[in-house]
Structure 1
């Protein structure tokens, strides 16, 4: 199944702002409105994930102004952006998608195929989401309703 969009697009080498690669993700007007200010925060955290991969694979921080050494502060930023900010939101999106897949009559077999796991694993993961059937998690609610600037209650970062 495809999302039928030309996303993402890339600019390489001298055309890229840092000389490596620029990645552009395009949103429709409806998607942009649904995400609001959160789109830029999410993009920043996705950038942190790619930055972290570069650091971990090269052992160097090529974005540092004071030299390419990796420091504990560099990794603090990576860990904070990924563990504290991005991962809970990604899990909320996944859980909301699993819940809606179930509500729309999606089968365990389809879910297993989408997850690339055995049916028993897909069943277990779906059950973990649906055990709170009437109580989606904070981050699942964030995924479906947005954050405080979208008129929703504040979710602590």
Structure 2
């Protein structure tokens, strides 16, 4: 995977374009990325809107509660469960591959005891729906 940016006049809208490139094998493994890309876009758009207080993609009106419906739905209902599933699958696989609690703590930027608690709680139960989705066992 590679990541590139275009800014200013080189960007489509004159601001910033972000390109994420996957190898053919990665693209096949991931499958359809359109929904995920849309939700990532919503996250970045929401960050800009929350910081500026203005909805610039349409008419530049002041932010309203109604503008946040899609943000909340895309992030809370759609993106966050999938990200948690990816994280949980990565933590479980890290343990299966012999990763230490210390390494996990470093990756999580937390204490060793917290990393141990989180991993032990995760591995003590069966994978969640979204964890199995992340590993390709669920559509």
**Are the equivalent residues in 1 in contact too, given 2:88–2:122 (CA < 8 A)?**
yes
User: Counterparts in 2 of 1:117-132, with a 5 A limit?
Assistant: 117-132=110-125
Q: Structure 1 CA distance, aligned partners of 2:137 and 2:60? A: 39
Secondary structure of 1:55's partner?
helix
Q: 1:99 corresponds to which residue?
A: 92
1:87-119 CA-partner distances (Å, limit 9, x unpaired):
000000000000000000000000001111100
Q: 1:42 corresponds to which residue?
A: 36
Q: 2:102 corresponds to which residue?
A: 109
User: Where do 5+ consecutive residues of structure 1 fail to align?
Assistant: 149-157
User: Where do 5+ consecutive residues of structure 2 fail to align?
Assistant: none
**Are the equivalent residues in 2 in contact too, given 1:96–1:144 (CA < 8 A)?**
yes
Q: 1:142 corresponds to which residue?
A: 133
State the number of aligned residues: 139
Q: Structure 2 CA distance, aligned partners of 1:23 and 1:147? A: 29
Q: 1:62 corresponds to which residue?
A: 56
Taking structure 1 as the reference length, the TM-score comes to 0.84
**Are the equivalent residues in 1 in contact too, given 2:129–2:138 (CA < 8 A)?**
no
**Are the equivalent residues in 2 in contact too, given 1:35–1:146 (CA < 8 A)?**
no
Higher share in strand: 2
Q: 2:19 corresponds to which residue?
A: 24
Q: 1:76 corresponds to which residue?
A: 69
Q: Structure 2 CA distance, aligned partners of 1:18 and 1:103? A: 45
